């Protein structure tokens, strides 16, 4: 399922989004998703949220890593979990399986 919020923002943001749209190959939705993608890992963003958060309630952590470009590029992104096979190390004839 895709979350489709309606975003309302002042013309100054609209102008910025339009200018970024014109100079990149990104669509407007990708630009907004990229901003949120980066914001969640930004110290400045967390600092501002900290000033407005409810007491005794921790801020949430993003469920995506900085290396997951598909998260902001692809509207229907599905998180891919690391399904690497077990690493097997042999020591003295005994096999140790590390996960």
Q: What is the DSSP string of 27-68?
A: -HHHHHHHHHHHHTT-HHHHHHHHHHSPTT-PPPPPSS-TT-
Q: Taking residues 18-41, report their average pLDDT.
A: 95
Examine the pLDDT at 82 and tell me if it is beyond 80: no
Examine the pLDDT at 2 and tell me if it is beyond 70: yes
Residue 5 pLDDT class (50, 70, 90 cuts): confident
Q: Scan for tokens 């501002």, then name that residue.
A: 48
Examine the pLDDT at 28 and tell me if it is beyond 90: yes
Percent of the chain with pLDDT over 90: 54
pTM listed for this prediction = 0.73
Maximal CA-CA distance, the chain? 69
Least confident of 32-46, 52-66, 75-89: 75-89
Q: What are phi and psi of 90, to 5 degrees?
A: -100, 130
Determine the pLDDT at residue 78: 81
């Amino acid at each position: 399922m895709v979350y489709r919020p309606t975003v309302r923002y002042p013309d100054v943001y609209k102008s910025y989004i339009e200018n970024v749209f014109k100079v990149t190959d990104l669509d407007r939705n990708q630009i907004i998703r990229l901003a949120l993608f980066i914001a969640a890992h930004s110290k400045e963003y967390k600092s501002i949220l900290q000033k407005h958060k409810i007491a005794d309630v921790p801020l949430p952590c993003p469920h995506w890593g900085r290396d997951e470009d598909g998260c902001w590029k692809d509207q229907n992104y599905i998180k891919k979990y690391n399904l690497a096979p077990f690493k097997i190390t042999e020591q003295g004839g005994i096999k140790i399986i590390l996960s």
